[in-house]
Structure 1
Amino acid sequence: MRIAALLIDIDDTLLDDAHATRHGVAALLAAHQLPYTLDDACQCWHTLTQQHWLRFERGECSIIEQRHARLRGLFQRELSESEAAQAFEPYIAGYRSNWKAFDDTAAFVAATAHLPRVLVSNGHLDIQQRKLAFTGLDAHFPHLLTPQNCGHAKPDAAIFEVAAALAGVPLQQCMVIGDDAVRDIGAAQTLGMPYFHVDRRRADGGLLACLPLLA
């Protein structure tokens, strides 16, 4: 089947979110003298993020509440909301100053410019807009869907249906491109959509490896 549009994830697909996160965690360790190695702290932060981001996706807490819950888990002690907000500032500074696109992103963006493209992310709308502006990718992607402006989160079929409608292409002719095995790839498989799994641990897992599928 001909691929007529792309529905593309952002974090750890176009942008190296793991890199930015690691710098954010390093800033937390330096500011608060926490008893972790950087690798151990990053692993703990990853586990806490998975736990509390799911709560945010389900609407059980706000973006700020899940942020503070992660911090309390890393610190292993209670913090008031004001204490948590202040303690989180080094992370925010380290994280935001290290947003960057992967080395293959520019070439991928150029090579797929002839196709309708919609960004589909479970990240918070304001933060994702800031990332795109910071990295200059906002000029290439007129459409960005998140739970805040769509009302649905991946892997819910509805967010992909809205994305396909924005692209003006039938759902089954849209390729999902992303790194998440459940939110991106699992959703595409359930919906019978073509997909490409970005996994840079594999030699053939970068963005450019999907280009032959689009020819």
Structure 2
Amino acid sequence: MIRAVLFDLDETLIDRAPAIRAFVADQYHRCADILSAIPSERYQQEFLEVEQFGRVAKKIVYPELAARLGLGDEAAAELLQDYTVHYPRYATLRPEARPTLDRLRSMEMSLGIVTNGVAEVQFGKIDALNLRTYFRTILVSAVEGVSKPDPVIFQRAAERLDLLQGECLFIGDNPLVDVVAAEASGMSAAWLANTESPWPSDVPEPRHRLSTLADIIPLLDRR
């Protein structure tokens, strides 16, 4: 019996693509003193290419980006600091996320988040969207000292809820880091289908595929 639903954050609860594009465009103007010699279009294109749709940590992204653009370590550090301070306010919640969370809460489901990232940024996004009160537990990899897809972070989330892994359903957009990893830890998992992270052809199809977060409700009703 499923008693808890756990979520990935970026590109699952949060619609990441429009947020990061808006942020990068604004960062270019905020940091014009160090970026003025670089065309805006090039900066945005290089950033998105280096970060690989969020798969690369920003502490790696900005030094590589600076090197590509002929900037130094000081510029990389300034850009990273700008990201840490300003990016959380760009977070955009999927339109169906809050109604789904409300419905799950009315069903007396325990809710949690398991996300990779830096605490200041991830908690900043959660608080900017007023989400914290929905969740009994929030695990951020930088705080936990372990990241998805390591099964430990999934097991730890279940323990924080005083549940077995088999009583938890994990929802995520990344086929391997979220879905395959959660199931390997002993949880059930559902894939939020995402064209930016397509399901690999060499991996067995997911047991549960969601077109939208609202699909969680009928999935639970069938169980």
Pair 1:166-2:160 in alignment = yes
For residues 1-215 of structure 1, what are the structure 2 equivalents within 5 Å? 2-30=1-29, 31=32, 32-33=35-36, 34-35=38-39, 36=41, 40-41=45-46, 43-47=48-52, 50=55, 52-53=56-57, 65-73=59-67, 75-80=68-73, 82-88=74-80, 91=83, 95-113=87-105, 114-201=108-195, 204-215=210-221
Deviation, structure 1 residue 154: 0.6
Contact 1:27 1:90 in 2 (8 A): no
Contact 2:136 2:161 in 1 (8 A): no
Q: TM-score, normalised by structure 2?
A: 0.77
The 1:185–1:137 alpha-carbon spacing in structure 2 relative to 1, beyond 3 Å, is: same
* Structure 1 counterpart of 2:21, one-letter code: R
* Structure 2 counterpart of 1:108, one-letter code: T
* Structure 1 counterpart of 2:49, one-letter code: C
Deviation, structure 1 residue 90: 5.8
Q: TM-score, normalised by structure 1?
A: 0.80
In structure 2, list runs of 5 or more residues that go unmatched.
Answer: 199-208
- Root-mean-square deviation (Å): 2.7
Deviation, structure 1 residue 78: 4.0
Distance 1:43 1:126 in 2: 21
Distance 1:124 1:116 in 2: 24
> Which has the higher relative contact order, 1 or 2, with Cα contacts under 8 A spaced 6 or more apart?
1
Deviation, structure 1 residue 70: 4.2
* Structure 2 counterpart of 1:44, one-letter code: E
Aligned residues: 201
* Structure 2 counterpart of 1:187, one-letter code: A
The 1:27–1:164 alpha-carbon spacing in structure 2 relative to 1, beyond 3 Å, is: same
In structure 1, list runs of 5 or more residues that go unmatched.
Answer: 54-62
Cα deviation digits, residues 39-59 of structure 1 (max 9, x gap): 734541433853x42xxxxxx
Percent of aligned positions with the same letter in both sequences? 24
Cα deviation digits, residues 74-133 of structure 1 (max 9, x gap): x432412x3223345665676333212110111111011111112101121221111111
